[in-house]
Chains A and B, each alone.
Chain A
Amino acid sequence: MLFQFQDVTKTYGPVTALNSLSLSVPAGAVGLLGPNGSGKTTMIRALLGLIPLDRGSGEVLGMDFRHRQLDIRRAIGFAPEDECLFPRVEGIEFVAYAGQLVGMSAKDSLQRSHEVLDYVGLGEARYRKVESYSTGMKQRLKLASAIVHDPKLLILDEPTNGMDPAGRDDIIKLAHDLAHNKNMSVLFSSHLLPDVEAVCDHVVVLGGGKLLTQGTIKELKQAHRQRFEVRLKAEPAPFASRLSALGCTAELRDDLIMVQLPEGHSQQMLWEIAAEQK
């Protein structure tokens, strides 16, 4: 088990960032999907033990994130979403410093920095000041600093934000390689489905601080041929009643109806009901 949450709730004043979240995630390449404000970053901070929880508990890599924060952060590498730099240093010093902050010796961290900078494709720029790096280079630098101590779990928070297509492809290839060929678990957090699909096998989808769904990409991609979202220009309640009377499952949500047609019926049924009620 990579990590699990049990009834975790976290609020910031009137905003509920995580709402009774419970889930278990296996090791491997895991995608964390959800729109902005769905709780992805809060969940990551909870995993790192950076925030106290209002309620609930959980573990990551077998360690309770309420009590073993420092041990967890030794075993995890994290590349934050925002642009973050240690100022006034060269690339090689940046990564070496990141390694020393985790507990590597100065000699080990320097040697390892050269290796990971070569791996992420920044070998030629290692002696340049990081302030002169492009956006793509900074993202790769963050990735290098996150893997310098060879973590068991690598968390990438929106790693392709603000990147051009070529840079985005590079990050995705690196993340895919680490997850599938280098025996490192990766938690890839994004609101972009294609990025998650390219890297991950298992996906967790959050919305409004809650778990909407989780499963393998293959399971989730199976077409729900009998399931529709229906928006009407008229009052939805009579339409939903008529669907229910005909054996459908009709769930009213805000301004739409979630319809599950029974087996053997097609979407033609919906048009017929609409024509009836015209």
Chain B
Amino acid sequence: MPIFDQGYQHWSGTLRGHAWRWLAITRHGVKIGRKSLFLRAFLFLAWAPALVLAFMLCIWGLVERKSDLVGQVSGLLGFLAPDILAHPLQYRVTVWTLFYSQFLQVELYLSIVLILLVGPNLISQDLRFNAMPLYFSRPLRRIDYFLGKLGIIAAFLGMVVIVPAIVAYILGLLFSHDITIIRDTLPILLASIAYGAVISLSAGMLVLALSSLSRNSRYTALFWLGTLLVGMTISWALNEIDKDQRRYAYVQENGRIQSQRMESDPAIREHARLEQEKRAQEALDRETVAAQHNWRPLVSYTANLSRIGDHLLNTRATWVALSKFVPADQRQAYLLEKLDPQYPWYWSAEVLAVLFGLSAWILNFRVRSLDRLK
């Protein structure tokens, strides 16, 4: 006999403790996010840099082992100096850091796009559909709510930054056949994971704060893009203005010396040539000094994150090591280009900390408990 109506049944299960309550919000948010076909496609594409990283690490493993296959793929590592390929073990850390820093540089921008796809909805939709009474009438504190929402962003960013970094690392280990590689390269992996955590925490809080400012997630997306693009544009403009000022002074000087190089007297021409070289070197020295105190990249949010990443991975040491293979007269210009920006990393840390604090304040103000008169 079929039962059509059981009526209400009591439930005698146990409720879990409070500590992991935020995880329910994270799991729910990830489940909702993964329903989007567009997001799934983007996650798939975001793994492309990771595949390239894994491939390059595997190739490097073959180089270290002096495998017979190296000859077939040596063209892929043609950008490295022959001395590096001849003594791979000496340059293991340098090459791994180089590969990881390039990977993370690309993933930073993919992460920004990913946050644009995932982040704006997180709080704005809850405000739009008035979900707060449903959340806070349950045994949930605001900190659990924020942690849960932040966990959603961390989960998606982990899928494109941290997990691929770990998978590529394991593949690199497997192709190396040398146990000492763990000692040498584990700090690089840990730095990558830490960088992924910094991006998750900083960008996650910022996008949550922006999401709490509007019930329309489109406006939140625009706020997010605006924050990044305006910062990048202003930073670039300030940099160019600053460089232009020095270039202008140099061109003025150079113009006077250039006219001396047209003189018929060889002695004057030679003097002018030496003078020009000296001025060029002085200009390069001024650029080098200016680069160490150039605060203008601080205006760009992505530049700040990138600076932290450079510090964590210690890419400075990598570029200094690689600069030894550059002709001596070009080394300073090479380093000037590769090490940009060079201001102290803790300046960026302070900027990110201030943004974090501001985001926390906005969230605290916008996502209030139900202690209000309707």
State the A residues within 8 Å of B (CB): 12, 15, 17, 41-42, 45, 48, 50-52, 69-71, 73-74, 78, 80, 82-89, 93, 97-98, 100-106, 108, 112, 115-116, 118-119, 131, 145, 147, 149-150, 177-178, 182-183
Contacts and interface: CB of A to CB of B under 8 A. Distances in A.
Contacts of B139: 69-71, 73-74, 101-103
Interface in B345-374: 369-374
B274 to A, nearest CB: 71
A89 B32 contact: yes
Contact of A86 (B6, B21, B131, B140): B131
B129 A82 contact: no
Interface in B3-31: 5-13, 15-18, 21, 24-25, 27-28
Contacts of A48: 137
B15 A104 contact: yes
B136 interface: yes
A101 B128 contact: no
Q: Number of contact residues on B: which range applies?
A: 35 or more
A80 B137 contact: yes
A157 to B, nearest CB: 9
22 contacts: A12-B372, A45-B371, A51-B369, A73-B139, A83-B130, A84-B129, A84-B133, A85-B129, A88-B125, A89-B32, A93-B28, A104-B16, A106-B27, A108-B11, A108-B13, A112-B13, A116-B8, A118-B5, A119-B7, A119-B9, A150-B11, A182-B8
Contacts of A50: 136-137, 369-371
B130 A103 contact: no
A70 B18 contact: yes
Contact of B131 (A69, A84, A108, A147): A84
B76 interface: no
Given A45-B371, A101-B140, A85 B24 contact: no
Contact of B28 (A78, A97, A112): A97
Contacts of B42: none
B372 A73 contact: no
Contacts of A89: 32
B134 A80 contact: yes
Kindly list the 4 A-B residue pairs having the minimum CB-CB distance in the complex, ordered from nearest: A103-B15, A150-B11, A100-B24, A70-B139
B126 A87 contact: yes
Contacts of B13: 104-105, 108, 112
A84 B138 contact: no
B130 A85 contact: yes
Contacts of A52: 371
A83 B131 CA distance: 9
A176 B129 CA distance: 29
Nearest to B31: A93
Contact of A45 (B16, B125, B370): B370
B223 interface: no
B137 to A, nearest CB: 4
Given A17-B373, A50-B370, A51-B371, A150 B10 contact: yes
Given A73-B138, A85-B129, A177 B8 contact: yes
B8 A119 contact: yes
Nearest to A72: B139
Given A12-B373, A41-B374, A82 B131 contact: no
